[in-house]
């Protein structure tokens, strides 16, 4: 007997399936399920995928610069797992943890290597704010919550420090063996130099930003070192944000077979309400609009971020995985979408989340 049986869900390959849920886990996926359940839900042909994971959000509401509410960027947007990317550091991450536990959405954190996180824009301009020992203490205290590290490596953040903050982040990473997400933007540091310190599995967010210090050169080609980095397994994450996603860069990259490894939003209250981000679903539509397939898009908000951030039991629609599921509609619809630089792109398909499950619990959207 299942706790819940979901009937008439559709995969993106147009197969109709039933999903049995027991104790918060997916216990059965099959075209025909005959076993009984305490509760049956007929989703009447909604599409289903593993619960969406947004690998780059800002959701600690006590911050003032970049903040939002976990369930607003999470479950209310069809996103079952969110990863706060460096809003807090060793000094305030416990406070964030306490609050995050109250959310319905699964919340994880990448800890900013600077002690107060993004309390101001220039958190890595003063390196006395980076304390390796204290970072390690916090990681030991909250191993289930802090799943990686974050270093923001652009001009306004690092001041005169050049590559030094990144070297500290790598030093800490070597001690704790966790994923590291590095934000890229305006030089310094020059992107080629920055990439030279990254290793396979390291995550670069804002990968398709339209800035001079991005992956595209002035003739519109992908810079050779960026191709090499991608080929060597540096993980390219979208991290759309207010300032950091450009259609042309994404399209040129795709032409050269550089497809972002994960699709994330860098969402916070202002760019959620006023754009250009709005939601993970709309960010996914933007990648569809420049030619990613639906398969490619969904993989990049489920299995790919789970793998990159080593989030266990999530990201796949598979028996024994957590019953985190996102149900959505796909509707043919013509509209324009906007990137971070005000460029428009024609979009033909809407992705509308309608319902989600988190560890077996149902939420209507």
Q: Which residues bind Zn ion (CB under 5 A)?
A: 85, 266
Residue nearest to Zn ion (CB): 266
In the complex, minimum distance from the CB of residue 40 to Zn ion, in angstroms, rounded to a whole number: 41
Q: How many helices (H) and strands (E) does the chain have?
A: 12, 15
**Omega cis (within 30) before 295:** no
d(CA 209, CA 219): 16
Residue 68 in marked binding region:
no
* 183 annotated ligand-binding residue: yes
C-beta of 322 vs 339, nearer to Zn ion: 339
Measured between alpha carbons, how far is 350 from 348 in angstroms, rounded to an integer?
7
CB 362 within 8 A of CB 355: yes
Is 85 or 284 the residue whose CB approaches Zn ion more closely?
Answer: 85
Nearer residue to Zn ion within complex by CB, 68 or 285: 68
How many CB atoms are located within 10 Å of the residue 224 CB? 10
The least distance separating Zn ion from the CB of residue 242, rounded to whole angstroms, comes to: 9
Decide: helix, strand or coil at residue 220: coil
* Residue 132 tokens, joined: 């390796």
Q: Distance between the two ends of the chain, CA-based, in angstroms?
A: 27
Scored b (16 or more CB within 10 A) or e, 90-110 reads bbbbeebbebbeebbbbbbbb
Shortest spacing between CB 90 and Zn ion, in angstroms: 18
Q: How far, in Å, CA of 240 to CA of 283, rounded?
A: 7
**Cβ 297 vs Cβ 352: under 8 Å:** no
Is 150 annotated to bind a ligand? Reply is yes
Whether 235 has a binding-site annotation, put simply, is: no
| Cβ neighbourhood burial of 144 (10 Å; 0-12, 13-18, 19+) | exposed
Between residues 85 and 226, which has the closer beta carbon with respect to Zn ion?
Answer: 85
CB of 244 to Zn ion, least distance (A): 8
CB 173 → Zn ion: shortest distance, Å? 18
Nearest distance in Å: CB 152, Zn ion: 8
- 86 versus 360: smaller Cβ distance to Zn ion: 86
Residue whose CB is less far from Zn ion, 60 or 363: 60
Beta carbon of residue 291, minimum distance to Zn ion (angstroms, whole number): 26
Nearest to 81 by CA among 55, 49, 110, 48: 55
Nearer to Zn ion, 155 or 362 (CB): 155
Give the residue numbers of the binding site: 56, 58, 150, 183, 206, 266
Give the residue numbers of the binding site for Zn(2+): 56, 58, 150, 183, 206, 266
């Amino acid at each position: 007997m299942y706790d819940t049986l979901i009937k008439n869900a559709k995969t993106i390959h147009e197969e109709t399936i039933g999903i049995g849920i027991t104790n918060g886990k997916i216990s059965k996926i099959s075209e025909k399920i005959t076993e009984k359940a305490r509760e049956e839900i007929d989703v009447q042909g909604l599409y289903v995928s593993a619960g969406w994971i947004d690998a780059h959000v800002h959701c600690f509401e006590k911050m003032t610069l970049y903040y939002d509410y976990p369930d607003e960027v999470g479950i209310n947007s069809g996103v079952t797992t969110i990863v706060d990317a460096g809003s807090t550091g060793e000094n305030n991450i416990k406070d964030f943890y306490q609050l995050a536990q109250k959310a319905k959405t699964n919340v994880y954190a990448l800890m900013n290597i600077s002690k107060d996180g993004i309390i101001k824009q220039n958190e890595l301009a003063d390196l006395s704010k980076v304390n390796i020992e204290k970072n390690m203490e916090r990681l030991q205290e909250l191993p289930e919550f802090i799943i990686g590290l974050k270093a923001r490596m652009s001009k306004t953040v690092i001041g005169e420090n050049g590559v030094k903050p990144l070297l500290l982040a790598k030093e800490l990473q070597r001690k704790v063996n966790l994923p590291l997400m590095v934000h890229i933007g305006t030089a310094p540091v020059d992107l080629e130099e920055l990439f030279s310190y990254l290793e396979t599995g390291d995550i670069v967010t804002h990968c398709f930003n339209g800035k001079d210090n991005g992956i595209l050169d002035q003739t519109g080609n992908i810079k050779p070192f960026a191709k090499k980095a991608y080929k060597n397994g540096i993980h390219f994450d979208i991290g759309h944000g207010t300032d950091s996603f450009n259609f042309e860069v994404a399209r040129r990259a795709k032409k050269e077979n550089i497809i972002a490894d994960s699709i994330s939003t860098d969402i916070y209250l202002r760019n959620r309400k006023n754009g250009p981000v709005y939601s993970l679903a709309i960010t996914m539509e933007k990648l569809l609009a420049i030619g990613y397939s639906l398969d490619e898009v969904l993989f990049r908000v489920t299995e790919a971020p789970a793998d990159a951030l080593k989030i266990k039991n999530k990201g796949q629609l598979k028996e024994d995985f957590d019953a985190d599921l996102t149900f959505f509609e796909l509707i043919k619809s013509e509209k324009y979408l906007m990137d971070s630089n005000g460029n428009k792109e024609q979009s033909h398909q809407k992705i509308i989340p309608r319902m989600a499950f988190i560890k077996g619990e149902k939420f209507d959207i």
